Amino acid sequence: MPKNNMWRQRRVVVPKRTIELIALVAISSTLFLFLHTRELHSRLRKMEVRLQPAEDELFSGKQLFSEGVQTESTQSGNDHYSSLQHVREKYEEADLLDVDGLNNTKEAERLVLFFNRVPKVGSQTFMELLRRLSMRNGFSFNRDRVQKVETIRLIPIEQLQLARVVSSFPEPSVYVKHVCFTNFTKFNLPKPIYINVVRDPIERVISWYYYVRAPWYYVERKQIFPDLPLPDPNWLKKDFETCVLKEDRECHYLEGEIHEGIGDHRRQTLFFCGHSEKCTPFNTVGALERAKLAVEKHYAVVGVLEDVNTTLTVLENYIPRFFRGATQVYHDQTNAFTSINRNFFKPSVSEEVKDIVRRNFTREIEFYQFCKQRLYRQLRALKLTNTDFTMNNRL
């Protein structure tokens, strides 16, 4: 008991005013936090409204029309659009988008368009579109001749020769060729306007697999090159699913592997990475980063086959000298364009097999998504400025 009394006597007595002060500080802090939170909530709501496309952005407009977002066909035959949430997720915060900063057209030193087309991305369709636009918009259309063996990676002297050929065309001109990205400035030659198109890498590799097995493919090539040997019938009959499931050498996609030659177009990144040997190993970080850098630094537009409408809208606004009227020309003759190079001998491939292939295409898929994101950012920037983008009277 004496000990308990001693502790009671030692209790510190807090003055009444101090208690009131502490209570006042606590109330003030609570009120401040409430007001600050409410302000933040209000600002976030405003930002959300800004990012959400309005109806007039999604529907109609002569060039920046709603079809800039890929449509699907319903049972009734009418087009319908993705949800607003899905559209909003495609775009970055509005303040970060700048039309001028997203277009490299202004960096071109000559009015020459260089389309170093990737195989099996609808490049034949875009090539035919350019040919028709050349008559409408008044520019020269040029393409590489068909070759017995297509060489896409060139040694330095061949790169120089290519750059000289492209630079020799009168302005305005277009040149189309299957070849890796070639840096003209490295050879002290004027920089052209670079464009290209990409495709889902799994669908692309499947398309190539059956393209080189199509009967008409060898008939056409045999007519051009009579001495071309015919392939093994067993190889022609081999289907993609069996090739993957049996881990056939042709369908065994290993990271870091280097495999050249016809039948191996697995590396979409190679057409952007360049001619360096560092670009050849399949599905590697180094090749991926080099390809991304080339797109950001050099390419005016990289379209996406799965979203032709957005691709045409961006091309028409970022490179109007060549693509003015592209949307109208394409949609006026949709059937003619969509039937170009279509392979009716390609069977469907199960999602299970596609998933197996996807496991080894991680960086190729990342590059495809990177190009897709950039295209949608370019489209979004156009809609935010609400104006047709023209680099200058010359372009």
Boundaries of every domain in the chain: 100-387
**How does pLDDT run across 117-126, given as a tens digit for each residue?**
999 998 889 9
d(CA 122, CA 136): 21
**How does pLDDT run across 329-345, given as a tens digit for each residue?**
998 877 666 666 677 67
Average pLDDT over residues 156-185: 97
Choosing from 36, 178, 265, 331, the catalytic residue is 178
Binned at pLDDT 50, 70 and 90, residue 312 comes out as: very high
pLDDT at 238: 93
Q: Which residue has the higher pLDDT, 136 or 146?
A: 136
The answer to whether 131 and 329 have CB atoms below 8 angstroms apart is no
Binned at pLDDT 50, 70 and 90, residue 27 comes out as: low
* 196 phi, psi to nearest 5 deg: -165, 180
Average pLDDT over residues 321-332: 94
pLDDT at 393: 40
Q: Strand, helix or coil at 176? A: strand
The answer to whether 318 and 389 have CB atoms below 8 angstroms apart is yes
pLDDT at 49: 36
Q: Which amino acid is at 326?
A: A
Q: Which residue has the higher pLDDT, 332 or 90?
A: 332
Q: Which residue has the higher pLDDT, 58 or 238?
A: 238
Which tokens in the block code for residue 59?
């529907």
d(CA 75, CA 48): 33
**How does pLDDT run across 202-227, given as a tens digit for each residue?**
999 999 999 888 887 778 887 888 88
**How does pLDDT run across 358-394, given as a tens digit for each residue?**
999 999 999 999 999 999 999 999 876 654 444 444 4
Binned at pLDDT 50, 70 and 90, residue 311 comes out as: very high
Q: Which residue has the higher pLDDT, 200 or 382?
A: 200
**Please, how many CA atoms are within 13 Å of residue 247, restricted to the half-sphere of its CB?**
2
d(CA 211, CA 204): 10
The answer to whether 337 and 312 have CB atoms below 8 angstroms apart is no
**Please, how many CA atoms are within 13 Å of residue 124, restricted to the half-sphere of its CB?**
11
Please say if 178 is a catalytic residue.
yes
d(CA 237, CA 257): 26
| pLDDT for residue 67 is more than 80 | no
Binned at pLDDT 50, 70 and 90, residue 154 comes out as: very high
Domain 100-387 fold is Rossmann fold (3.40.50)
Q: Which residue has the higher pLDDT, 1 or 208?
A: 208
The answer to whether 296 and 288 have CB atoms below 8 angstroms apart is no
Classify burial at 197, counting beta carbons within 10 Å of its beta carbon; exposed 0-12, middle 13-18, buried 19 or more: buried
The residue written with tokens 């070639």 in the block is 182
* Mean of all residue pLDDT scores within the chain: 78
Overall pTM > 0.85 = no
